[in-house]
Structure 1
Amino acid sequence: MRKEDEKYRNYLQILQEELIPAMGCTEPIAIAYAAAKAKELLGEIPTSVVIEASGNIVKNVKSVVVPNTGGLKGIEAAAAAGIVAGRPELSLEVISGITQAEQEKIKKYLENTAIKVMPLNSDCVLDIQVCLRNGDEYAKVRISETHTNITHMEKNGEILLEKRIPGAVFADTNSDRAAMNVWDIWDFAETVDMDDVRNIISRQIDYNMEISRTGLAGNYGANVGRVLATTYGHNDVVSRAKAAAAAGSDARMSGCELPVIINSGSGNQGITVSVPVVVYAEELGVGEEKMYRALVLSNLLAIHQKTRIGRLSAYCGAVSAGAAAGAAIAYLHGGSYKEIIHTLVNALAIVSGIICDGAKPSCAAKIAAAVDAGILGYHMYQEGQQFYGGDGIISKGVEATLENIGRLGKDGMRGTDEEIIRIMTGT
Structure 2
Amino acid sequence: MDTKKKNLYDAYTAILKEELVPAMGCTEPIAIAYAAAVARETLGMLPDTVRISASGNIIKNVKSVVVPNTGGLRGIAAAAGAGIIAGKAEKKLEVLAEITREEIQELNAYLDTASFSVTGSQSGCVFDIYIEVHKGEHSAEVQIQGHHTNIVKIRKNGETLFGKDYTEENQSSGEDRSLLNVKDILSYAKEVDLKDVEEVLERQIQYNTAIAEEGLHGNWGANIGKILLQSYGNSVQNRAKAMAAAGSDARMNGCEMPVVINSGSGNQGMTASLPVIVYAEDMQVSREVLLRALLVSNLVSIHLKTGIGTLSAYCGAISAGCGAGAGITYLYGGGYEEISHTIVNALAINSGVVCDGAKASCAAKIASAVEAGVLGMKMYQFGSQFYGGDGIVAQGIEETIENVAELARDGMRETDRKIIEIMTDPR
TM-score by length of 1: 0.98
Measured against aligned partners, the alpha-carbon deviations of 1:288-324 in whole angstroms (never above 9, x if no partner) come to 0000000001000010111100000000000000011
Q: For residues 115-264 of structure 1, what are the structure 2 equivalents within 5 Å?
A: 115-168=116-169, 170-173=171-174, 175-234=175-234, 236-264=235-263
Q: Distance in 1 between matches of 2:236 and 2:161?
A: 54
Question: For 1:355, what is the secondary structure of its paired residue?
Answer: coil
Paired residue type of 1:332:
L
Q: Distance in 2 between matches of 1:170 and 1:185?
A: 22
Q: Distance in 2 between matches of 1:206 and 1:10?
A: 25
Q: CA deviation at 1:172?
A: 2.6
Change (3 A) 1:104 1:169: farther
Mapped contact 1:170–1:307 kept (Cα < 8 A): no
Measured against aligned partners, the alpha-carbon deviations of 1:37-93 in whole angstroms (never above 9, x if no partner) come to 000000000010000000000000000000000000000000000000000000000
Q: CA deviation at 1:355?
A: 0.3
Question: For 2:13, what is the secondary structure of its paired residue?
Answer: helix
Paired residue type of 1:294:
A
Q: Distance in 2 between matches of 1:194 and 1:28?
A: 34
Cα RMSD between the aligned structures? 1.1
The gaps in structure 1 that reach 5 residues or longer are none
User: What is aligned with 1:339?
Assistant: 338
Change (3 A) 1:15 1:182: same
Q: Distance in 2 between matches of 1:332 and 1:169?
A: 37
Q: For residues 318-337 of structure 1, what are the structure 2 equivalents within 5 Å?
A: 318-337=317-336
Identity over aligned residues, as a percent?
Answer: 58
Question: For 2:423, what is the secondary structure of its paired residue?
Answer: helix
Measured against aligned partners, the alpha-carbon deviations of 1:148-197 in whole angstroms (never above 9, x if no partner) come to 00001101010111212201575431x11111111101100111111111
Q: CA deviation at 1:336?
A: 1.2
User: What is aligned with 1:400?
Assistant: 399
Q: Distance in 1 between matches of 2:391 and 2:2?
A: 38
User: What is aligned with 2:106?
Assistant: 105
Q: CA deviation at 1:122?
A: 1.9
Question: For 1:264, what is the secondary structure of its paired residue?
Answer: coil
User: What is aligned with 1:366?
Assistant: 365
Mapped contact 1:215–1:250 kept (Cα < 8 A): yes
Q: For residues 26-41 of structure 1, what are the structure 2 equivalents within 5 Å?
A: 26-41=27-42
Question: For 2:306, what is the secondary structure of its paired residue?
Answer: helix
Q: CA deviation at 1:426?
A: 0.4
Q: Distance in 2 between matches of 1:26 and 1:202?
A: 21
User: What is aligned with 1:88?
Assistant: 89
Q: Distance in 2 between matches of 1:73 and 1:65?
A: 5
Mapped contact 1:316–1:356 kept (Cα < 8 A): yes
Q: Distance in 1 between matches of 2:53 and 2:172?
A: 20
Q: CA deviation at 1:246?
A: 0.1
Paired residue type of 1:51:
I
Mapped contact 1:145–1:171 kept (Cα < 8 A): no
Question: For 2:118, what is the secondary structure of its paired residue?
Answer: strand
Q: Distance in 2 between matches of 1:387 and 1:112?
A: 59
Mapped contact 1:214–1:248 kept (Cα < 8 A): yes
Q: CA deviation at 1:275?
A: 0.3
User: What is aligned with 2:347?
Assistant: 348
Q: CA deviation at 1:2?
A: 6.9
Deviates more, 1:191-200 or 1:75-84: 191-200
Q: Distance in 1 between matches of 2:242 and 2:100?
A: 31
Write out the 4+ residue segments of structure 1 that deviate beyond 2 Å after TM superposition. 1-4, 168-172
User: What is aligned with 2:65?
Assistant: 64
Change (3 A) 1:169 1:209: farther
Q: Distance in 2 between matches of 1:392 and 1:169?
A: 31
Q: For residues 287-306 of structure 1, what are the structure 2 equivalents within 5 Å?
A: 287-306=286-305
Measured against aligned partners, the alpha-carbon deviations of 1:12-61 in whole angstroms (never above 9, x if no partner) come to 00000000000000000000000000000000000100000000000000
Question: For 2:179, what is the secondary structure of its paired residue?
Answer: coil
The gaps in structure 2 that reach 5 residues or longer are none
Mapped contact 1:208–1:271 kept (Cα < 8 A): yes
Q: Distance in 1 between matches of 2:239 and 2:171?
A: 34
Q: Distance in 2 between matches of 1:250 and 1:179?
A: 34
Mapped contact 1:224–1:243 kept (Cα < 8 A): yes
Q: CA deviation at 1:353?
A: 1.5
Change (3 A) 1:2 1:111: farther
Question: For 1:202, what is the secondary structure of its paired residue?
Answer: helix
Measured against aligned partners, the alpha-carbon deviations of 1:255-310 in whole angstroms (never above 9, x if no partner) come to 00000000000000000000000000000011100000000010000101111000
State the aligned residue count: 425
Paired residue type of 2:125:
C
User: What is aligned with 1:73?
Assistant: 74
Paired residue type of 2:37:
A
